[in-house]
Structure 1
Amino acid sequence: MKKGGLGRGLDSLIPNTNIEKKNDLQKSQITKREKEDQKSEMMLRLSKIEPNRRQPRKQFDEDTLVELAESIKLYGVIQPLIVQLKGDHYEIIAGERRWRAAKLAGLKEVPVMVREYTDKEVAEISLVENLQRDDLNPIEEAMAYQRLLKEFNLKQDEVAERVSKSRTAITNSMRLLKLDEKVQEFIAEGLISTGHGKVLLAVEDKELQREIARQIIDEKLSVRETEAVVRLCLNPRPVKEEIELPHQEIYVDFEEKMKQRMGTKVKIKRKEENKGKIEIDYYSLEDFERLMQLFGI
């Protein structure tokens, strides 16, 4: 199924409502529906409209809202909001982003289409609309899929059909909900990517997940670098036991004298059978030339 507008999603979602599949309609039925739509379309004051509290989208990008508000100032709200009457106000079924942008643009009223749905239908429509339009962050998206499966008793194949995505994509998305809650927050805020999150799924310890996630943020690790960190955490390299060699105190004293003489860090690494190496640190070209002069080179 092609990814399209909200109309296609509603067709597949609620086949028993007044929005029916076009290929099943006769010409007279289409005309009747258009007339009904015209009657239900109206201008409504923003103060009479309230968002849906069960809206799956919790975060709205301020920059894109400002851009939409500027467009609305020039052209107005082209696509009506879908609302339904709830007591003394109208609740948004689809179009909260347009409603927010219209408020930013200073509009007093917006075009709306009034519909009647059950609470279950409203929740499902809201989920599908946001998923179709890629309006959710990765964690909100995963939670929306989970709600469609659990609250509406849909199968993954049915969800995939409604949002025009593969079953595998939905399964992979929902796996993010197995991560530690703090790690999920990092993904929702865009501090780490879904790619990072998928790598962290290999770590069962939630505290370790958080530690690695913070390391990703602090050190700006790529996904590949994160894979290396996770591998090292899951399969730590064995620590070699230091061999206690004879006359150790002599070498320690000699190392200290060399540090004082050369004015830099010196490390004597001993091996068995009276073998080893001496490491001398330098920190710039000038520092290197100074050491060469000390050696008379």
Structure 2
Amino acid sequence: MKIENQRDERLTIEDNENIQKINIQRVKANPYQPRKTFDEERLNDLAKSIKLHGILQPIVLRKTISGYHIVVGERRFRAASMAGLTEIPAIVKSLTDEDMMELAIIENLQREDLNAIEEAESYRKLMDDLNLTQQQVAQRLSKSRPYIANMLRLLNLPKVVADLVKQGELSGAHGRTLLGVKDKRKMQSIAKQAVRESWSVRELENYVTTHYSENKTKAETTQKAAKPKFIRQQERQLKEQYGAKVAISTTNKKGNITFEFKSEDEFRRLIHQLNNKYNRE
């Protein structure tokens, strides 16, 4: 069953004559609802609007043995409860579990305030519960398969970082960039720094590429492997002699010896050692 993006709206339009007033006490949340948190401030605003104008668009329900399950319109239902309504206008549909699940997820995906983690969780739920591939999810939702794959990668973020994305402190693009840091503790530290200093995605990309990216590690490994054995031996000897990381590079019959220092004290110590070595000779 393929459901178009505007299916919930077509359900309402097609079945306007079947709108019913349902006792709000008999309505239960959709068990397949992927969204667990709702913005309280926006719910309050919607509740105030409902008090003044009523519910302009009926929700969609499925009949159950004990009452009704919400298929589409859980925000309206919650706001109606907050507004003190005892009945709610609804369209009752005969739907399968698969229909309910897919409609609930699609409704959430159409919302502008859905954060990147919730979006990724919705795609994962479609795949797991309906046994779909990334390609099939992409086709149903008119997305590209790489887009779905990239969103799903966010589910590999540690909880601390995922929560920052959920709270809007970081974007989904920030989250995907941080996945280039394989050490989760370092990833969390960088994520918090990015929030503190309000880094753009580009700034974060530059930082991760410079310090932690897998590509950088691979490049260093390749470069190290390409050095002659005797140069690597000299680097180790110099490191032991001066207590600092040393890199020797050669190009076009010329070369450089680089000493790395991390503080002014280390710099002064290195200069002192080198001067002493030179004076003794």
Verify same fold: TM over 0.5: yes
Worse-matched range after superposition: 118-127 or 93-102:
118-127
How far has the Cα of 1:93 moved from its partner?
Answer: 1.0
1:193 to 141, 162, 171: 171
Q: How far apart in 2 are the matches of 1:210 and 1:183?
A: 6
Question: For the Cα contact (< 8 Å) 1:128–1:162, is it kept in 2?
Answer: no
Opposite residue 179 of structure 1, the aligned amino acid is: L
User: After superposition, where does 1:232-271 map in structure 2 within 5 Å?
Assistant: 232-234=210-212, 239-240=260-261, 242-243=269-270, 245=272
- Partner of residue 170, structure 1: 148
Opposite residue 6 of structure 2, the aligned amino acid is: G
- Partner of residue 125, structure 1: 103
- Partner of residue 269, structure 1: none
Identical positions, percent: 40
Opposite residue 169 of structure 2, the aligned amino acid is: L
User: Within the alignment, does 1:154 sit opposite 2:132 as a pair?
Assistant: yes
- Partner of residue 179, structure 1: 157
How far has the Cα of 1:99 moved from its partner?
Answer: 0.6
Opposite residue 6 of structure 1, the aligned amino acid is: D
2:55 to 77, 87, 97: 77
RMSD: 3.1
How far has the Cα of 1:3 moved from its partner?
Answer: 5.2
For residues 182-208 of structure 1, the C-alpha deviation after alignment (integer angstroms, 9 at most, x for no partner) is: 211211121211121121011112221
Q: Which runs of 5+ in 2 are unaligned?
A: 221-244, 246-259
- Partner of residue 100, structure 1: 78
Paired residue total:
226
Opposite residue 50 of structure 1, the aligned amino acid is: K
1:220 to 198, 216, 220: 198
Q: Computing the radius of gyration over CA atoms, which structure comes out larger, 1 or 2?
A: 1
Secondary structure, counterpart of 1:103 in structure 2: helix
Q: How far apart in 1 are the matches of 2:40 and 2:80?
A: 13
Q: How far apart in 1 are the matches of 2:173 and 2:78?
A: 31
Distance change >3 Å, CA 222–CA 63, structure 1 → 2: same
- Partner of residue 145, structure 1: 123
TM-score (norm 1): 0.66
- Partner of residue 4, structure 1: 6
For residues 32-89 of structure 1, the C-alpha deviation after alignment (integer angstroms, 9 at most, x for no partner) is: x75xx634x2111222211123311112112222222232223211111111223322
- Partner of residue 38, structure 1: 17
Q: How far apart in 2 are the matches of 1:134 and 1:128?
A: 12
How far has the Cα of 1:126 moved from its partner?
Answer: 1.1
- Partner of residue 249, structure 2: none
Q: How far apart in 1 are the matches of 2:272 and 2:184?
A: 42
How far has the Cα of 1:176 moved from its partner?
Answer: 0.8
Q: How far apart in 1 are the matches of 2:128 and 2:7?
A: 25
Q: How far apart in 2 are the matches of 1:165 and 1:64?
A: 28
Question: For the Cα contact (< 8 Å) 2:123–2:152, is it kept in 1?
Answer: yes
> Which protein is richer in helix relative to its size?
2
For residues 205-254 of structure 1, the C-alpha deviation after alignment (integer angstroms, 9 at most, x for no partner) is: 222111111212233222222223313432599633642528x9xxxxxx
Opposite residue 83 of structure 2, the aligned amino acid is: A
TM-score (norm 2): 0.69
Distance change >3 Å, CA 161–CA 6, structure 1 → 2: farther
